[in-house]
């Protein structure tokens, strides 16, 4: 089995480079789409709330933003866990295609919502698709690359999500109407057709099915005692990162916009989204080198420490909007490094036939707490009298992740368990 995970991976990559390149391209653009689905809402939040409610005060924006944001996160968690388990049964290709279709159609449907209730429902559905895209893209790429290049390739893939933030910011800076912006984002529906038409099943998945069948082996179960510790560690690591990440992505653009004049607010919201995205891209490129040199745990530690320090620098002192846009790049870089490292690390902990479900649980159980935090964020903003204190409070979750790393096991240099 070890010979397969090493040699046959490399042989497959040498003989089918066109297929692997196409897989990466589709997975990358699909992940960009998930990033757009996640972040374009923040770029247009005040406009969406004003259009749907007729109100533009901070309290209303906070309440609608919190509710819709929480719905998106809950949908992300439910959809990813469901489609992750489905992918373990029907294969990566079919589940990935379905996730791309749900995401793109959800973006289009958002442009047509008539009221806040419809917005919340559609955000829930769109979140289910986006979460599944991010999960299945990472799992499929991990199963299609050799041990040597896996961390580097997944680090680049994770860059695609913040590219979606950049795309959202660019759309927000040139398109004034939020419904038009969402219709433009929905053009990604063509990716579902491309994925179904051209992608091939990950070779290690087909091999693992055959391996278990020929030897009359029962499928592993996610809650088996052998995987329970890794599951708990993965949940806490990714969950702690998500709490801080989503507080920043949901509220920082709105906060920076509120510090500027009314005429510049939309521009600063868009620039903050772009800055966070650019930082994420920069951080993602560091995943491969740091993971290979320091190990998965060491790379994640750098990310957590950087997130904690930068959060304190941003949200404790008073800064001008232009300074905050610059600091958003730095914070985004550490978030990107941390997220990219964990996206590559978690799938390495589990065997193939539970990798989709186990990774989905690790990536998404924390989103339930995050969703509760996003809901609470609207109340905390009102309670504390500002966005920045609420965001600072959520940033303390990075410390929990840092401590949990001490209990995690290292996987650097190891083949994926089949």
pLDDT at residue number 174: 87
Q: Is residue 107 packed enough to be buried (19+ CB in 10 Å), middle (13-18) or exposed (0-12)?
A: buried
Q: Strand, helix or coil at 63?
A: helix
How far is residue 36's CA from residue 103's CA, in Å, rounded to a whole number?
10
How far is residue 40's CA from residue 72's CA, in Å, rounded to a whole number?
12
Q: Strand, helix or coil at 295?
A: helix
Top-confidence residue, 34 or 390: 34
How far is residue 323's CA from residue 310's CA, in Å, rounded to a whole number?
13
pLDDT at residue number 19: 72
Structural domains in the chain? 2-407 (1.20.1250.20)
Q: Strand, helix or coil at 239?
A: helix
**pTM score of the predicted model:** 0.75
Q: Model confidence over 139-154: pLDDT tens digits?
A: 888 888 776 678 888 8
Crossing angle (nearest 10°) for helices 116-142 and 17-53: 160
How far is residue 272's CA from residue 173's CA, in Å, rounded to a whole number?
11
How far is residue 113's CA from residue 125's CA, in Å, rounded to a whole number?
13
Top-confidence residue, 97 or 58: 97
pLDDT at residue number 13: 41
pLDDT at residue number 376: 61
Mean pLDDT of the 282-294 span? 89
Mean pLDDT of the 44-70 span? 85
The answer to whether residue 309 scores a pLDDT higher than 70 is yes
How far is residue 384's CA from residue 389's CA, in Å, rounded to a whole number?
7
Contact status, residue 159 vs residue 282, Cβ threshold 8 Å? no
pLDDT at residue number 225: 83
Top-confidence residue, 13 or 199: 199
């Amino acid at each position: 089995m070890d010979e397969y995970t090493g040699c046959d991976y490399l042989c497959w990559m040498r003989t089918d480079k066109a297929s692997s390149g196409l897989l990466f391209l589709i997975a990358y653009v699909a992940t960009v789409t998930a990033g757009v689905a996640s972040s374009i809402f923040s770029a247009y939040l005040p406009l969406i709330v004003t259009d749907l409610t007729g109100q533009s005060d901070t309290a209303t924006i906070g309440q609608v933003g919190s509710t819709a944001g929480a719905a998106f996160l809950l949908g992300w968690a439910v959809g990813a866990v469901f489609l992750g388990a489905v992918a373990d049964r029907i294969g990566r290709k079919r589940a990935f295609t379905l996730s791309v279709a749900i995401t793109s159609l959800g973006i289009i449907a958002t442009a047509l919502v008539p009221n806040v209730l419809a917005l919340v429902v559609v955000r829930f559905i769109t979140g289910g698709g986006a979460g599944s895209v991010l999960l299945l893209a990472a799992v499929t790429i991990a199963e299609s690359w050799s041990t040597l290049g896996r961390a580097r390739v997944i680090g680049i893939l994770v860059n695609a999500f913040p590219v979606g933030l950049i795309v959202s910011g660019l759309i927000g800076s040139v398109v004034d109407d939020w419904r038009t912006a969402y219709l433009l984002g929905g053009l990604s529906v063509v990716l579902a057709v491309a994925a179904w038409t051209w992608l091939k099943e990950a070779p290690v998945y087909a091999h693992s099915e055959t391996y278990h069948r020929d030897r009359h082996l029962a499928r592993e179960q996610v809650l088996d005692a052998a995987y329970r510790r890794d599951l708990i560690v993965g949940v806490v690591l990714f969950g702690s990162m998500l709490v801080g990440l989503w507080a920043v992505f949901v509220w920082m653009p709105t906060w920076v916009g509120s510090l500027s004049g009314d005429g510049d607010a939309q521009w600063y919201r868009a620039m903050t989204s772009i800055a966070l995205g650019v930082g994420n891209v920069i951080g993602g490129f560091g995943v491969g080198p740091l993971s290979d040199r320091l190990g998965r745990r060491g790379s994640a530690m750098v990310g957590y420490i950087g997130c904690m320090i930068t959060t304190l620098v941003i949200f404790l002192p008073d800064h001008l909007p232009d300074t905050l846009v610059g600091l958003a790049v730095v914070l985004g870089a550490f978030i990107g490094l941390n997220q990219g490292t964990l996206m590559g690390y978690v799938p390495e902990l589990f065997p193939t036939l539970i990798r989709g479900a186990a990774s989905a649980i690790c990536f998404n159980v924390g989103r339930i707490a995050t969703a509760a935090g996003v809901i609470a964020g609207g109340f905390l903003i009102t309670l504390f009298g500002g966005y920045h204190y609420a965001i600072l409070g959520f940033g303390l979750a990075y410390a929990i992740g840092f401590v949990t790393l001490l209990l995690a096991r290292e996987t650097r240099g190891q083949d994926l368990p089949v």
